[in-house]
Amino acid sequence: MTLFSAVELAPRDPILGLNEAFNADPRPTKVNLGVGVYTNDEGKIPLLRAVRDTEKARVDAALPRGYLPIDGIAAYDSAVQKLLLGNDSPLIAAGRVLTAQALGGTGALKIGADFLKRLNPNAKVAISDPSWENHRALFEGAGFEVVNYPYYDPATHGVNFAGMIGALESYAAGTIVVLHGCCHNPTGADLKPEQWKKIIEVAKARQLVPFLDIAYQGFADGIDADATAVRWFADADLDFFVSSSFSKSFSLYGERVGALSIVTSSKDESARVLSQLKRVIRTNYSNPPTHGGAIVAAVLGNLELRASWEQELGEMRERIRTMRNSLVEKLKQVGATRDFGFVAQQRGMFSYTGLSAEQVERLRTEFGIYAVSTGRICVAALNTKNIDAVASAIAQVLK
Ligand code: PMP
């Protein structure tokens, strides 16, 4: 008997496990549509111009590396608020929003979950069915019971809105409802404006606690357009949480740049909530890292750099849209036995293709194309060099 003799081997993370299998595959024609990363037409993760220039300037300035405040860089937190709620948000002006820089969107969810557990230990957490696979694990890890609300409807490739609303209406006051602000992961199926309005109405009437997770702002229709739902929650005078991330929009995956923002009912409440959130952060990781946050703050705070970032973000968004349309067209051309028109309607980096686990398995073994067994593909990993092979392989496994 040793200290660790009873420790069981944990199952591999399904998506990171897929990556390992991809890396080990010797076929030169292999394509990785598994992991959620944007790659350009050359199949590379881009380093954005604004990031590169800011980074150079920072290195040249040879700055010392002291600790950041527990809640991060003040200019960063303020820039996050403006991106989410708009430059002229009356809530920001009234001091009703507090923001803490966090270790990516994941870190934001984690400190939000830990804080909520102290605030309301008996609340349940509701996530979409299906959702980003880490939502359940994160909230369960914080000690919550996690339930699913109906979301994806495979028959329409859209949202089962009646099912979703029915579930929200049945929840007890205080239930924490995790909503994808835009670009739903994994399905690509987003809520329509009038559906968001209804959700806000129900959240208010049932005193639910909305937790908006927005990891892809700028990837659907634009920076402001993608924040519409967040801004409507703000207009509705609700208290709510927002986790946000620059992993995708700044292509800064490994730098861990995200934020948790909380909208409260008053400036005084915000100060008290922030003081408690800081205790959560202090006992988790003390304070966030400097590099990524400093870059984002510098880019967002400089007109020229910001314009350059917006342009490149727009190019990424357009490229994804082109790949969606192109995949639909090419699948038609190679005689796919199904209509994939819905792929062009979905938003963000992902698409639920409707392929079965067996078909996904065949894509991998026969064609070296890696997708998640649920049928999720990362559309942002398609490019003009691999899309023909992907379309033809999908058509073949459908036969
Ligand atoms: N939420 C959702 C819905 C996501 O898809 C992701 C990343 N794939 C995250 C949060 C976490 O983002 P980050 O990598 O910044 O931690």
The CATH code of the domain that includes 317 is 3.90.1150.10
* Spatial CA neighbour of 259 closest among 317, 181, 197: 181
Domain count, the chain: 2
Mean pLDDT of 367-394: 97
Nearest CA to ligand 1 atom 8: 36
pLDDT value for 161: 98
Instruction: Report helix, strand or coil for 71.
Output: coil
Residues 261 and 384 both lie in one domain: no
Q: Are residues 175 and 115 in the same domain?
A: yes
Residue 57 within any structural domain of the chain: no
Asked if residue 7 is part of any domain, the answer here is no
3-state percent breakdown (helix, strand, coil) of the chain, nearest 5 = 50, 15, 40
d(CA 85, CA 238) in angstroms, rounded, equals 14
Residue 94 sits in the same domain as residue 232: yes
Domain stops at, among 271, 301, 331 = 301
pLDDT of residue 310: 98
Q: In this structure, are 316 and 292 located in the same domain? A: no
Q: What is the distance of C-alpha 4 from the center of its chain?
A: 35
Mean pLDDT within 169-195: 97
State the closest ligand 1 atom to the C-alpha of 109, by its place in the atom list counted from 1. Answer: 10
> From ligand 1's centre to the CA of 173, what distance in Å?
27
Q: What is the pLDDT of residue 13?
A: 81
Q: ipTM beyond 0.95?
A: yes
Does the pLDDT at position 11 exceed 90?
no
Whether residues 230 and 276 fall in one domain? yes
Rounded mean pLDDT of the chain? Answer: 97
Number of the ligand 1 atom closest to the C-alpha atom of 247: 15
Task: Decide if 295 is inside a domain.
Answer: yes
Tell me: do 111 and 194 sit in the same domain: yes
Task: Tell me what the mean pLDDT of segment 115-119 comes to.
Answer: 98
Residue nearest (by alpha carbon) to ligand 1 atom 2: 215
In a domain, 4, yes or no: no
pLDDT, mean of residues 71-80: 98
Instruction: Tell me, yes or no, whether 36 and 146 share the same domain.
Output: no
Testing ligand 1's pocket by substitution, the residue of 38, 106, 249 carrying the most ligand atoms inside 8 A of its CB is 106
CATH of the domain at 268: 3.40.640.10
Q: Is residue 55 part of a domain?
A: no
Q: Is the pLDDT of residue 337 over 90?
A: no
| Residue range(s) defining the domain that contains residue 96 | 65-301
Task: Clarify whether residues 206 and 267 are in a common domain.
Answer: yes
351 CA distance to ligand 1 middle (Å): 16
Half-sphere exposure of 82 (CA within 13 A, CB side): 11
User: Which atom in ligand 1 lies closest to the alpha carbon of residue 108?
Assistant: 16
Distance CA 277, CA 141 (A): 18
Q: What confidence score (pLDDT) does residue 14 get?
A: 78
The pLDDT, as a whole number, for residue 301 is: 97
Of 277, 301, 325, the residue at which a domain comes to its end is: 301
Q: Are 100 and 126 contained in the same domain?
A: yes
Percentage of the chain beyond pLDDT 90 is 95
**What is the DSSP track for 117-176?**
HHH-TT-EEEEEES--HHHHHHHHHTT-EEEEEE-EETTTTEE-HHHHHHHHHHSPTT-E
In terms of C-beta distances under 8 Å and separation of at least 24 residues, what long-range contacts does 160-165 make, across chains too?
A: 161/191, 161/195, 161/198, 164/128, 164/199, 165/198, 165/199, 165/202
Ligand 1, atom 1: nearest CA belongs to which residue? 215
Query: In the structure, which protein residues have their CB atom closer than 6 angstroms to any atom of ligand 1?
Result: 36, 104-106, 132, 180, 185, 213, 215, 245, 247, 258
Assigned domain for 126 exists: yes
CA 213 to ligand 1: nearest atom: 1
Residue 15 pLDDT > 90, yes or no?
no
Task: Confirm whether 1 is domain-assigned.
Answer: no
Same domain, 108 and 165: yes
163: pLDDT strictly greater than 90: yes
Residue 105 CA to ligand 1 center (angstroms) comes to 5
- For residues 271 and 133, membership in a common domain is answered with yes
| Gap from CA of 6 to ligand 1 centroid (Å) | 32
What is the bridge-based pairing of β-strands 124-129 and 97-102? unpaired
Q: Are residues 167 and 224 in the same domain?
A: yes
Task: Enter the pTM of the model.
Answer: 0.96
Residues marked as catalytic: 132, 213, 248
**In the listed set 301, 328, 360, which residue is the last one of a domain according to the structure?**
301
Tell whether 306 is covered by a domain.
no
